[in-house]
Chain A
Amino acid sequence: MVVEFQNVGLRYGVGPEILHDISFRLEPGSFHFLTGASGAGKSSLLRLVYLGIRPTRGLIHLFGKDTARAPRRDLPALRRRIGVVFQDFRLLEHLTALDNVALPLRVAGAKEGDVRAHVEELLSWVGLADRLGARPATLSGGEKQRVAIARAVISRPELLIADEPTGNLDDRSGARLMRLLEELNRIGTTVVVATHNESLVARFPHPQLHLERGEIAARAIARPAAAK
């Protein structure tokens, strides 16, 4: 099991509980959409999955490990098995596209000689071979998105989480990105894509985790609306 939530609840500080009794499991190699209206708690749920925050109650298992009981020193190893594409990209503004993508390799202690070749290859794959030295401020929204995706997948994560990855893209670019995520899924990566874009969900037939008022309200496999 890649991810397993058991009766997970979350509140920020002394505020109201924004996620209630969330329970679900993600099998290895699966592809899920996480859907729900804005403010339904999608981003919070994803933050729980990628260990950005801890739940107020309930159990979260990642790769078979109980994250609540895992000592703090074990968390980096778990995080390295997860790639995250943040809604707002969260690229480091002072670093070039190449250095942003290289970050996961460098924090993992990869040899510098291997890093550059690997990163250049991946940036070519996402169509940014000519933007290696560009800083985020000079990249378009779509280019930033692709740098963020490259950073998320550079260390071949077992679980890829994307928070509204098509939010800044036009339909064509969004579809292209989805095909890229499906390609990664085909080679074994478990993928979770949070989105409130219903047409996107309709075009790609994957199971949904639907969040409504902080609860998992429905789970269904969307029907393809049209040929991709």
Chain B
Amino acid sequence: MAGGLILPLARDPSSRFLPWITGFMVFLAALALAAAMAVSNASSDWRRGLTGTLTVQVLPIAAETDPRALEARVAAAVALVRNAPGVARAEALPPDRMAAMLAPWLGDGAVIADLPLPRLIDVELAGGAPFDSAALARRLAESVPGTSVDDHGVWLRRFAAFARAIEVTAAIVVALISAAAIAVVVFATRSGLVVHRDAIEILHLIGARDGFIARQFQLHAMALGFKGGVLGLVLAGATLALLFHFAQRIDAALLPSLGLGAVQWTALALLPVAAAAIGMATARRTVMRALRRMT
């Protein structure tokens, strides 16, 4: 027993179920956190990709029957945009590249060439000063009919709101899981105090301080929490690896790349430590409060 626990807490019924419950909670917490982090990563990636760019659309006009007229409007728009202050690069997407982008939905046939599709101008902004896309839209509308400017702002704001909602939901889920974990540890510790009441009284009578008795429970809860945490983390790791594997197999054009960075995997790997810390702190507080009510 030297160096080990004096109270036989490992024989308590709670010692059998606590690691499994902790494992289940860490599993759920890991999935919630991983989802939040993956969505946050995707949001950042897309924001990085879209910030500093905008798209100008040159729409076909019904009265315009000569295709060269559309090309002329596109050329005029490109020239105007290139001369606008704050624009680093402006380039019209060639029709064949647009056809390639639409091929997954419309097929490779000649039908695309016959469709009245808008022509797109990809614009890259110079970094630094903020760009006034509304002013550019006004100037384009005055000079080149049938144009519109999309700075992706609306889409980005909606996606950012979605990412934030996922993060808040994950935080709520983790908070609820933590609260449930605390409740389980409190229950298990209280039942341990009842089961070992006689031994605790003897320890008190031979001069054990409350902290000494609490240490018995907190070390036990810490060990069980860590054990369950590792179990839950292994299961969550396997599940996430599987999910990310399937996500990568889906066409990249449909989904942003889902995955976690090394720091995020490390954060998830610390969940068993967090579970152990929650168990330890909760058990200590529960025991200290209960012992204060004793003689």
A residues in contact (CB < 8 Å) with B: 50-54, 72-73, 76-77, 79-80, 84, 90, 92, 94-96, 99, 103-104, 106-108, 112, 115-116, 151, 155
Contact = CB atoms under 8 A, between A and B. Distances in A.
A175 B199 CA distance: 30
A107 to B, nearest CB: 4
Contacts, number: 55
Contact of B206 (A73, A95, A96, A151): A151
A104 B207 contact: yes
B85 interface: no
Interface size range on B against A: 20 to 34
Contact of A84 (B1, B205, B212, B292): B205
Interface string B190-218: 00000000110111111111001000000
27 contacts: A50-B205, A52-B201, A53-B295, A73-B209, A76-B204, A76-B208, A77-B207, A79-B204, A79-B205, A80-B206, A84-B205, A90-B198, A92-B6, A92-B202, A94-B11, A95-B6, A96-B1, A99-B6, A103-B203, A103-B206, A107-B203, A107-B206, A107-B209, A107-B212, A112-B2, A116-B2, A155-B207
Contacts of B128: none
A122 B147 CA distance: 99
A107 B292 contact: no
A104 B295 contact: no
A108 B212 CA distance: 9
B8 interface: yes
A47 B209 CA distance: 18
B94 interface: no
A54 B207 contact: no
B49 interface: no
Contacts of A104: 206-207
A3 to B, nearest CB: 16
B209 A76 contact: yes
Contacts of A77: 207
B208 A95 contact: no
Given A72-B292, A92-B199, A79 B207 contact: yes
A76 B206 CA distance: 8
A112 B3 contact: yes
A52 B2 contact: no
A53 B212 CA distance: 20
B295 A54 contact: yes
A72 B295 CA distance: 8
Given A76-B207, A80-B207, A107-B207, A94 B8 contact: yes
Contacts of B202: 90, 92, 103
Contacts of A94: 8, 11
Nearest to A112: B2
Contacts of B207: 76-77, 79-80, 104, 107-108, 155
Contacts of A107: 203, 206-209, 212
Nearest to B212: A107
A185 to B, nearest CB: 21
Which 10 residue pairs are nearest across A and B when measured between Cβ atoms? Answer: A80-B207, A107-B208, A79-B207, A94-B8, A104-B206, A99-B1, A76-B207, A76-B209, A112-B2, A90-B202
A112 B6 CA distance: 14
Contacts of B6: 92, 95, 99, 103, 106
A102 to B, nearest CB: 8
